[in-house]
Amino acid sequence: MISAVQIDYTNGVVDADLDALNAGDAVELTGRVISLRDASAARLARTLLANEPLPLPLDRQIMYAVGPSPPKPGQVVGSAGPTTTARMGRYLPALFGAGVRAVIGKGELHGDDMAAVIAHRAVYFAAVGGMGALLAKRITGAEVVAYGDLGPEALYALEIVRFPVVVIIDRHGRNFHETSRDKWRKSPEEQ
């Protein structure tokens, strides 16, 4: 059984907690994430580029690439699985520049998208795709905080408890996808 690093950032993201993470670490996050989807990411980036006021502070935030489905009776949210982060890659430099410390999503980041994570010393976490119903059980609160006109792509504040993720790109620039692939390609004698 793999033990997970527990990070409770209810009172804000602490850089030392993120500094201590290594690519490949299993982590359980407790705190608040701000949802992020294509339309909301584009709107935030346009607001930042126009030097206009943001609808909420982004400094020291963790954002989750998710568009939660509507809740059924008794649920906080419906399915809340990650979406592909690379689709929002062109907006990452502006978001990280505004102080976002980490993004949760799924899939690999390459080229400029990966470079933005490294340049801003951010962290890229992956949540397991296809587990949206189970991940939703780790969300204890959900509130639209901006862009309500975007429906499921609105910005939600999601309260999460022991939300399972894996560090894909750490603050030191190590990429779990790349190191795992390199290790897999080596013969047993080279390992």
Is 177 or 32 the better-scoring residue by pLDDT? 32
CA distance 154 to 19: 30
**Residue ranges of domains in the chain:** 5-10+18-185
pLDDT at 73 over 70: yes
pLDDT at 139: 97
Mean pLDDT, all residues of the chain: 93
Percent of the chain, pLDDT > 70? 95
- pLDDT category at 191 given cuts 50, 70, 90 is low
pLDDT at 182 over 80: no
One-letter amino acid for residue 98 of the chain: A
pLDDT at 129: 87
- pLDDT category at 152 given cuts 50, 70, 90 is confident
CA distance 25 to 164: 11
Residue 62, classified by CB atoms within 10 Å of its CB into exposed (0-12), middle (13-18) or buried (19+), is buried
CA distance 143 to 32: 11
pTM of the predicted structure, to 2 decimals:
0.93
Q: Which CATH number fits domain 5-10+18-185: 3.40.50.800, 3.30.70.360, 3.30.365.10, 3.20.130.10?
A: 3.20.130.10
pLDDT at 169: 97
Query: Of the candidates 44, 13, 38, 47, which has an alpha carbon nearest to the alpha carbon of residue 27?
Result: 13
Assign 100 to helix, strand or coil: coil
Contact present, 92 and 99 (Cβ < 8 Å): no
Between strands 26-36 and 155-169, the pairing is antiparallel
